[in-house]
Amino acid sequence: MKILVIGSGGREHALAWKLRQSSHAEKIFCAPGNGGTSEIAENVAIPASDFGALVRFAKENHVDLTAVGPDDPLAAGIVDLFAGEKLRAFGPTKSAARIEASKIFAKELMRAQKIPTADARTFSNSAEALCYCEQAKFPAVIKADGLALGKGVIVAADAATATSAIDEMMNQGRFGEAGRRVVIEELLRGTECSLHALVDGNNYLLLESARDHKRALDGDQGPNTGGMGAFSPADNWNSKLQARFETEIMQPLLRGFVQEGVKFRGLLYPGLMITSEGPRVLEFNCRFGDPETQAILPRMKSDLLPLLEATIDGKIDQCTIEWDERVAVTVVLASAGYPGKYETGKSISGLGDAAKLEDVQIFHAGTKRGGDELTTAGGRVLAVTALGATIEAARARAYEAVSHIHFENCHFRRDIALSAVTANIGKLS
């Protein structure tokens, strides 16, 4: 089969890497890909936003399956367009992608199905939102309704912070259309956990759990980022929570989709807060997590390709997944300045030595190849994953690999998975 992976991040490198291991994969293309995907696939210089060129490419090159990595093209209806051209694409339709692209749509669906989540009010009028702030309880969380590159969520300690966030979003158009409506919700306390499910319209199959590290600096300090590291399985997850998650969240969600007349086919990734009262939904994503994918896929022993196909064909109930029992730890190396304005064009060295280490896999994100030279070309540059029998072993190996890699002003967190070191992870009780 010929496969096209759309996107250019670490998640897409991990997807291409995993799909390439399939005995059914004859050729992999990445559009536009990065310096890592160019080594295992053919990079095609088409941005993920140029749907017309992507459709033409898929037709001319007889692509059998397209896997869409990022949320933006899904929210803009790329899968509908491909389907209209009789091209097979993995990912939800525009209507189904609203579960991530509109926090208000997601909240309403959760409310209708009594899915546990933060209590929330939604506003499309800024005067009403501002007035609500006068009597709301703080801290509270202000969220832009639409996609805002991960920057549309503000934890407001007091009414003044909330008021300025609302003003920026609703009156000053900080996120354009995405911020014209807002959700104001209670702050949930606990620890976060990322779940991934292949959903085929009727049934779902869960992947192993993972934990992301969203803040830029050690000790969960600094601004929120796309994710500075991850590990799988999550130390705060167990079979009791999973049973509750399935009955209180996944099953009602699927019922909600049916009632809305929406067929969700693709990867659904609920972001959860594990509170003292059980799992609560923070958000639903309609695509693989980044960097969670770089920690989860190296643990997947089964072939990913038939799983994607079964999802599209409504046959995920016929599938199972075999997992490596070992723990995976992924450390992200970022450019100076990330998640703000960051440096690019720095020469990267040491990857060869890092990659030689056993049980290490290096995924590229913001890298570019020019002749023999590999340079930085994005905020998150590389994701280094190591497998280990214990969390300590996986961490030690991941950081050993990181120590071989150099580029000017590289920054990374030194505490990825540290909180899990003493926990009994990997054993669902």
Binding residues (CB under 6 A) for ligand GLY: these are: 212, 226-227, 285, 289-290, 292
Separation of alpha carbons 23 and 315, rounded Å: 20
Structure-block tokens of residue 129: 């939102």
Residue list 32-51, contact with ligand AMP (CB under 6 A): none
In the window 122-181, what residues touch ligand AMP (CB under 6 A)? 141, 143, 153
Choose between 31 and 147: whose C-beta lies nearer to ligand GLY. 147
Gap between the Cα atoms of 305 and 50, Å rounded? 25
Which residue has the CB atom at the shortest distance from ligand AMP? Answer: 283
Q: Is residue 214 within the footprint of ligand AMP (CB under 6 A)?
A: yes
Out of 53, 130, 187, 321, the residue judged to bind ligand AMP by CB under 6 A: 187
Q: Binding marks (x or -) toward ligand AMP, 270..309, rule CB under 6 A?
A: -x----------xx--------------------------
Return phi, psi of residue 332, to 5°. -95, 130
When asked if residue 230 is in the footprint of ligand AMP (CB under 6 A), the reply is no
Report the distance separating Cα 28 and Cα 17, nearest Å: 9
Q: Distance from CA of residue 144 to its chain's centroid?
A: 18
Cα separation of 132 and 126, whole Å?
A: 10
Q: Which residues of 373-409 are buried (b: 16+ CB within 10 A; e: fewer)?
A: ebbbbbbbbbbbbbbbeebbbbbebbbebbebbebee
Q: Phi and psi for 374 in degrees, rounded to 5? A: -110, 130
- Distance spanning both ends of the chain, measured CA to CA: 40
Q: Which does 72 bind (CB under 5 to 8 A by kind): ligand GLY, ligand AMP, none?
A: none
Q: Phi/psi at 348 (nearest 5 deg)? A: -105, 130
By CB under 6 A, is residue 97 in contact with ligand AMP?
no
Of 75-83, 185-193, 301-309, 310-318, which segment contacts ligand AMP by CB under 6 A? 185-193
Which residue, 311 or 330, is less far from ligand GLY as judged by CB? 330
Closest CA to 365 of 80, 11, 3, 5: 11
Contact flag: residue 72 with ligand AMP (CB under 6 A): no
Closest approach of Cβ 192 to ligand AMP, in Å?
Answer: 6
Q: Does 185 bind ligand AMP (CB under 6 A)?
A: yes
Size of the site for ligand AMP (CB under 6 A): 12
Would you count residue 118 as binding ligand AMP (CB under 6 A)? yes
Q: Which residues bind ligand AMP (CB under 6 A)?
A: 118, 141, 143, 153, 185, 187-188, 192, 214, 271, 282-283
